[in-house]
Amino acid sequence: MAETPTTDLTALRRSPLESLAEAMREGSVTGPRAVALREIPFLAMAGIRVTPGTDAARALCDVVGLELPERVGRVTGSPEATALLWQGPDEYLLVAPDETEVPAGLHERELEPGALPSLSTHPLVARLSSALAASGERGQVVDLSANRTTLELTGPAAREVLEKGCPLDLHPREFAVGEAVSTTLGPVQVLLWRTGEERWRVMPRASFARYTALWLLDAMLEFASPAVA
Amino acid sequence: MLLIECPYCGPRDETEYHYGGEAHVPYPEDPFELSDREWAEYLFYRNNPKGLLKERWVHTVGCRRWFNVVRDTASYEITAVYRMGENAPQPGGQ
Ligand SMILES: [Zn+2]
């Protein structure tokens, strides 16, 4: 009997924290010092390198429908839809909802160097690659969706949990809602994105995700009990 | 713990950076022209002042950019930070 090849590869994906979903639900704390942890799996991410002000930058902005964020901490767009995070003076991270569309000819031509502008199966990332190629200028668009996963920490105690292991000042006067930076949480390099007053995204690389989630669960533990005066 | 001002990200803890040695050591124009001794001096010999030293740092966990720092090797005081390709600020000038 002939085997039917799987065409929907998304059914085979496993997110880095799938095995901890239960532990994160159970480790979430309620009450006056509530803090909850969950994974937002499979967000699409793409690394963009382009010099601001060039034709290539304008072409990419037109495709995304957003301006480039201008300096450290800045984010354009929104966490619920599509966003561009500042990573460096000519480096940005696109974060977008999960979507899969296998580009025409991928299976036949993926091994042919340069035959396709992009091997990404995310339609927006593929469109960005095509726009950059068409601009003829220097730059880079790389699908990094599998590089990091996203943890969401929410609740009135969320900031206190992060403050146990982050060297930055997370007080709202220094770290406004909507800002995102690269820093460390414990020993792990993460992107930290404040998406709401009491809502943070912590984005570690996939191989550090388990450690980071367990670190956060441990840091959350004390908030289940009343504060010690 | 040093507090180092990244020219792109602002002040961050020393743990966010890596040290890159003395700055402004020019790559030899033609490495094949050098004797073994000259090559070794290019690779390994550095000034070792007690006082101000121009050195390179990289903001590893942040913007990942290299930049230059003028630091007092005795007091650890950082007197200037400037980007790659820029000239070092003159002491007292700025
Ligand atoms: Zn930096």
What would the pLDDT profile of A2-56 be if each residue is shown by its tens digit? 666 666 778 889 999 999 999 999 999 999 999 999 999 999 999 999 999 999 9
CB contact under 8 A, A89 and B63: yes
> Is residue A170 pLDDT above 50, yes or no?
yes
Report, as an integer, the average pLDDT of A55-78. 98
Same domain, yes or no, for A132 and A177?
no
Report, as an integer, the average pLDDT of A137-162. 97
CB B14 within 8 A of CB B87: no
b/e map B38-56, b = 16+ CB within 10 Å: eeeeeeeeeeeeeebbbbb
Residue A119's φ and ψ, nearest 5 degrees, are -100, 5
Q: What is the pLDDT of residue A4?
A: 62
Specify the number of domains making up chain A.
2
* Separation of alpha carbons A184 and A165, rounded Å: 8
User: What residues of chain B lie within 8 A of the CB of A168, using their CB?
Assistant: 12
CB contact under 8 A, B8 and A91: no
Residue B72 lies in a domain: yes
- Determine the residue of chain B that is closest to A74 in CA distance: B9
Query: What CATH number did the domain enclosing B61 receive?
Result: 3.30.2270.10
For chain B, helix, strand, coil in percent to 5 are 15, 35, 50
Q: Using CB atoms, pick whichever of A71, A72, A88 lies closest to residue B64.
A: A88
Same domain, yes or no, for A131 and A166?
no
Query: What CATH number did the domain enclosing A161 receive?
Result: 3.30.1360.120
Residue A154 lies in a domain: yes
Residue in A167, A159, A164 with CA at minimum distance from that of residue A196: A159
Residue A109 lies in a domain: no
Same domain, yes or no, for A137 and A210?
no
> What is the extent of the structural domain holding A168?
17-41+149-229
Q: What is the pLDDT of residue A93?
A: 98
Residue B15 lies in a domain: yes
Q: What is the pLDDT of residue A14?
A: 94
* Separation of alpha carbons A109 and A115, rounded Å: 7
Same domain, yes or no, for A141 and A75?
yes
Tell which of A94, A126, A146 closes a domain.
A146
Residue A70 lies in a domain: yes
Same domain, yes or no, for A58 and A129?
yes
* Separation of alpha carbons A172 and A179, rounded Å: 10
Q: What is the pLDDT of residue A86?
A: 98
Same domain, yes or no, for A182 and A209?
yes
Q: What is the pLDDT of residue B94?
A: 45
Cβ under 8 Å to A: B residues 21-50 = none
Specify the number of domains making up chain B.
1
User: What residues of chain A lie within 8 A of the CB of B5, using their CB?
Assistant: none
Angle between helices A55-64 and A123-135 (to 10 degrees): 160
pLDDT category, B93, cuts 50, 70, 90? Answer: low
Q: Which of A105-114, A123-132, B22-31, B48-57 has the lowest mean pLDDT?
A: A105-114
> What is the extent of the structural domain holding B3?
1-23+46-88
Same domain, yes or no, for A129 and A55?
yes
Report, as an integer, the average pLDDT of A89-116. 87
